Amino acid sequence: MCVSVSPRVGVRFSDTVLYAAEVLDPSGRTVHVLGYQNKVQGRVGAVPSVRSLLPFSRCGNAMILPFPAVARTMTRANVLDTSDCRDVLQDIGDAVMRPARYAILSPGLSSAAPAAPVQVFEAAGIYTVVLAQDPRDIPGALQQVPISKRPALNPALFDAYARWYPNWTVALCCFNNRRAQLAKPLLWWYEPSIPDQLFLPTLDCHTGDVPDLNATVAVDHVIAVGSHRMVGGEPVRYRSRPPRVRSYLLNSVIARPYSGQSPNGDFICALDDVRRGIFDAMRSRPAA
């Protein structure tokens, strides 16, 4: 459940786990967290050529993730290092599946200075991230991405994201792997611009086109939410939870697995419900 950016380049995302939570960071401040992990296969169906196997060839793709963060507050410091705890979101997914009681449908403080308009950096695992305060600035920064991961872009997609998610921060997560691979989890914290909701980016399109907001799409993911103020939930048995990420990963979550077909769009959860231990994720389509 994701949006890829390279036109006419096949890509497959599967086994997605999304985690959104209200937590207290190490300083005691309330922030929101978004965790995202999936199995990624780039260039699905493409026949490899000698050129595509060269280290300087341009065969990358990318997925795009929006964040309802306070404008110009997100930087690379908002990405938590998961290099030695790659199973944390799988552990959250396991907590969901263990009870089998749900219906299945067919790191620290932000910088005092404003964030730069675009930042490019390496994240854990397969991704090079382009983090932009305006998605329309992303194409101009692409030369900073290693050429092997540098995707072809559809400018209309970034125009659409600027229209659909005004004043949100957007991350372009660039990758290049021909074989299906479970990526290391991306774990972000941010100061929410909509503090009474948890947001989970599940808008879907794997062709590089502008997503069709009226489409029905195939889904294969687990959505998990929580709050440090939550009552109840399913306990999570983490295999590893290093101190630097411990504040951002809750001891219990409420969640649901999804598969089959679903209307296209994102999910939102009202925090008042989550705090009471109620899972009521609602589909939300961006305003066209």
Give me the mean pLDDT over the 124-135 stretch.
91
Cβ neighbours of 42 (radius 10 Å): 26
Residue 52 has pLDDT above 50, yes or no: no
Give me the mean pLDDT over the 196-203 stretch.
96
As beta bridge partners, residue 14 has 39
Q: What percent of the chain has pLDDT over 70?
A: 82
pLDDT for the residue numbered 107:
40
pLDDT for the residue numbered 220:
84
Residue 45 has pLDDT above 90, yes or no: no
Q: How does pLDDT run across 59-85, given as a tens digit for each residue?
A: 678 889 999 999 999 999 999 999 899
Question: Is 46 within 8 Å of 77 (Cβ atoms)?
Answer: no
- Give me the residue spans of the domains in the chain: 11-284
Average the pLDDT over each of 97-101, 106-110, 172-176 and give the range with the smallest value. Answer: 106-110
- The rounded mean pLDDT for the chain is 85
Name the residue type at position 241.
Answer: R
- Cα–Cα distance for residue pair 175/154, rounded to 1 Å: 17
Give me the mean pLDDT over the 133-146 stretch.
95
- Greater pLDDT, 63 or 14: 63
Cβ neighbours of 9 (radius 10 Å): 20
Of the pLDDT bands very low, low, confident and very high (cuts 50, 70, 90), residue 49 is very low
- Greater pLDDT, 106 or 157: 157
pTM as predicted: 0.87
Q: Which of 153, 225, 189 is nearest to 76 (CA)?
A: 189
Residue 3 has pLDDT above 90, yes or no: no
pLDDT for the residue numbered 82:
93
Residue 98 has pLDDT above 80, yes or no: no
How is 258-282 classified by DSSP, letter by letter? EEEEEESSEEEEEHHHHHTT----E
As beta bridge partners, residue 40 has 13, 181
